[in-house]
Structure 1
């Protein structure tokens, strides 16, 4: 009998719309000769089973099952495509651990660590991983523009500390704009991160490690036509040039992949992860770890898997089988 795979999407952050797109591509990429995929939408307290895009039943949160067509449907595996809370910060992972249902992403501790950019960066600094200087401001803190500029210079990036990198992020060139940028980040997270600007080439590197094999995907160089890789640049056709494999040397590519592998292990990651960098003068400056990276047809990970000569279906099947074995 085929295993039932819940493709879980939705969530409670501004990246809900991205999650919907990711889930559709993952759903279509599940090998139906091996598995039976089901769409499960989570939004706040409403968890629903959808069939052909329409809600048909409520999920029973007591055991993550559902009554459908007069039968009790139980899920053997959860493929999490929620960007932001509760699917990327460890909350949902804790629930599935309690339910003893295997899932596709990092575990509770790893998800919580990597979701908090400030904590993750400061943890990784201990291992001599290069990164920009940063300052964290909690909602309600005094915004001292002079002190921030003195420490970090201009321009700076202001972004939500806990959350994705699509919303609430601003490139600030003038001191007078700092306060508004911090307040915009606070709308997405209770903490804002102000980061030193490093002028270089944006590189992103995907990978997955399984029990018996690892896949270090070809890296991608990102050339947004906007000032930086914001939501519009990510999801507007033609707004960004994305080149996979990146036009960097084989030696630099290997360095990037090895660094991503090191970060994956240091953060105790699981499932497909994407690590973002700025490459300047031969040095990869760490930006962040994405533990539920975008999986839309135009997202980096599907591009990288295709460039490696695989289909997304192949990798998803390996991840599911790895956790169910």
Structure 2
């Protein structure tokens, strides 16, 4: 399938003004964010953008008060001090500072895995069965309801932080203890055995476009934090599929992105059941990683968009009227 992108809206870096590349912060994903932010900063400067690094939201507020910020390239990851839960977006909206990525609604919703699932299910989109684990919930009863094996995870963390793969009833309590270290609710999710895939979505002048999927083949049994950011033996097959399967997964990713109210750029994570062939939506990342291991740059490269241009196009999405509707892939 051919991916068609309209030309960039501008070739003049001066239109962006002074750009704060917001990275780091205090979330559990700080180190990944710093790596991503450094790469983005270098790419924007290479294209002539007047960009500078800012570590965390308090430092950003100081820069804005000093009058030194015209727009923000948000590469903070996570919640509660990160930049993906809607708090930063609300702040920037109130201050009138343009920024990359989803707005308050899309950011807050996508950061909450439980609420995202509820929206998808209401929209008729497939996602693995799950149980919300309220404080004091009987985790063993929940496991019997879903059937082992399951994943237990914090509802509002990314990058596989706090996630456990539970195969035996005896391991449930330890998994809950790990997930409970992180703020917010927890959920138990049906373990779908099959391929794990990721589909980036990127704004273009003509609307949002789903990039080629990436099928992830970790050396271990599942795609955990180590496989994502540390290991060099994880395989990334892009595109993940060919023909009708690739069309289907990209259409599903775009539908999920739009249903959650997202905009600008993001990455939709999907599982494919090996037995049935059915796709299941997992989550949306509204500020995807941009490290050497990250999936969005890999997919963009497949359609001729190198890293510097990718960063430019993401930054362009913060300009007025940069997206005008949504298009199918």
> For the superposition of Structure 1 and Structure 2, which TM-score range results when normalised by the shorter chain?
0.7 to 0.9
| Residues in 1 aligned to 2:207 and 2:125: alpha-carbon distance in whole angstroms | 25
Match of residue 200 from structure 1: 194
State the TM-score, normalizing by the size of structure 2. 0.87
User: Shift in Å at residue 210 of structure 1?
Assistant: 3.7
Worse-superposed segment, 75-84 or 203-212? 203-212
Query: SS state of the match for residue 255, structure 2?
Result: helix
> Deviation of residue 305 (structure 1)?
0.9
2:21 corresponding residue in structure 1: 7
TM-score (normalised: structure 1) = 0.88
- Describe the SS at the equivalent of 2:152: strand
Q: Which has the higher strand share?
A: 1
Which sits farther off after the overlay, 270-279 or 23-32? 23-32
**Could you tell me which residue of structure 2 aligns to residue 310 of structure 1?**
305
Mark the CA change 1:75 to 1:203 in structure 2 (over 3 Å): closer, same or farther.
same
Hey, what does 2:106 align to over in structure 1? 110
Instruction: Please point out which of 43, 46, 55 is paired with 1:29.
Output: 43
Structure 2 match to 1:264: 257
Q: Which residue of 2 aligns with 1:52?
A: none
Match of 2:222 in 1: 228
Matched, 1:129 2:125: yes
Kindly indicate whether residue 290 of structure 2 is the aligned counterpart of residue 295 of structure 1. yes
User: What is the deviation of 1:301?
Assistant: 0.4
1:1-325 correspondence to structure 2 within 5 Å: 2=14, 3-30=17-44, 32-42=46-56, 45=58, 47=59, 60=62, 64-66=64-66, 74-85=68-79, 86-138=82-134, 140-145=135-140, 147-246=141-240, 248-280=241-273, 281-325=276-320
Task: Give the deviation of 1:276 after TM superposition.
Answer: 0.7
Distance 2:232 2:310 in 1: 27
Partner secondary structure for residue 114 of structure 2: helix
* Cα distance change of structure 1 residues 288 and 207 upon mapping to structure 2, 3 Å threshold: same
Q: RMSD over aligned Cα, in angstroms?
A: 1.8
Q: Is the 8 A contact 1:89 1:112 kept in 2?
A: yes
Displacement, 1:225? 1.5
The CA distance in 2 between the partners of 1:304 and 1:219, in whole Å, is 7
Q: Secondary structure at the match of 2:220?
A: coil
Structure 1 contact 143–179 (Cα < 8 Å) conserved: no
Cα distance in 1 for partners of 2:310, 2:209 equals 9
Q: Identify unmatched segments of 5+ residues in structure 1.
A: 49-58, 67-72
Question: How far has the Cα of 1:213 moved from its partner?
Answer: 4.1
Determine if contact 2:209/2:254 at 8 Å carries over to the other structure.
no
Q: Where do 5+ consecutive residues of structure 2 fail to align?
A: 1-12, 321-329
Conservation of the 8 A alpha-carbon contact between 1:114 and 1:288: yes
